Amino acid sequence: KAFAADNQYEKAGAKIMVRAEILQKAEVLLMINTPEPDVVDSKKENQIILSVVNPFFNKEVVEKLAANSKTVFSLDLIPRTSRAQSMDILSSMATIAGYKSVLESAMLLPHFFPMFMSAAGTIRPAKMLILGAGVAGLQAIATARKLGAVVEVFDVRSAVKEEVASLGGKFIEVEGAREEKSAGGYAVEQTEEFIQKQKQLIHDHAVKSNVVICTAQIPGRKAPLLIEKATVEAMKAGSVVV
């Protein structure tokens, strides 16, 4: 939520109207989430919609929007280039997600994040495993380190190793990862042999961790399932997976 009052919008020149009236009259709609049924089914022709549509996973929504003569710009498909950086909403939202994921895990973990030393003894810092070192992963590393956790990071892209180290994380990797420069900084699908090695490496580190945060993504596909049931069952009691 923006937590902006109606009078602030009016002061900026906007008119406060009910949702149904806006959908009927507006020629351009700007929204954050995937268009809801009342937007999709609106009979207002030649309407332009700027939104996070996730077209690869919302085929029916896209087809209905096209059938109702809507022009749609899916903001989540804006290329991640320096020229389009000011419109890159994914990076902005990923930064928030990475930051918030660490705070949520800190609230749920029955353990301190930083090391504590006292006359009664020493409490060791929490161990965290972060899967994926994209925008969300890097923000999670920075936040976790500020809270005093020991952070290990896995990513198939060797290029992010220096970024991880600069934030205080320890980079763990499986040799033989496939990378593509055309992927725009994202990870790409890997060979079956690599995936098996990857699963074992992640399992070995996850069972020693107090917190595991999954941020890995592949554009246009479902996020890879990197934590399996057997791994979760083998983790320490009270551990947190985000």
> Is residue 88 among the annotated active site residues?
yes
| Active-site residue, 9 included | no
Is 101 an annotated catalytic residue? Answer: no
* Given the residues 74, 76, 80, 99, the one annotated as active site: 80
Q: Which of 74, 91, 99, 145 is catalytic?
A: 91
Counting beta carbons within 10 angstroms of the beta carbon of residue 81, is it exposed (0 to 12), middle (13 to 18) or buried (19 or more)?
exposed
Say which of 88, 105, 139, 157 is annotated catalytic.
88
Residue 182 annotated as catalytic: no
Dig out the tokens for 102 from the structure: 């660490």
Give just the sign of the alpha carbon dihedral 137, 140, 146, 150. Answer: negative
Query: Is 85 assigned a catalytic role?
Result: yes
Asked if 98 and 139 count as a contact pair (C-beta separation under 8 A), the reply is: yes
Q: Which of 69, 85, 196, 200 is catalytic?
A: 85
Out of 74, 76, 145, 186, the active site residue is: 186
Active site residues: 80, 85, 88, 91, 186
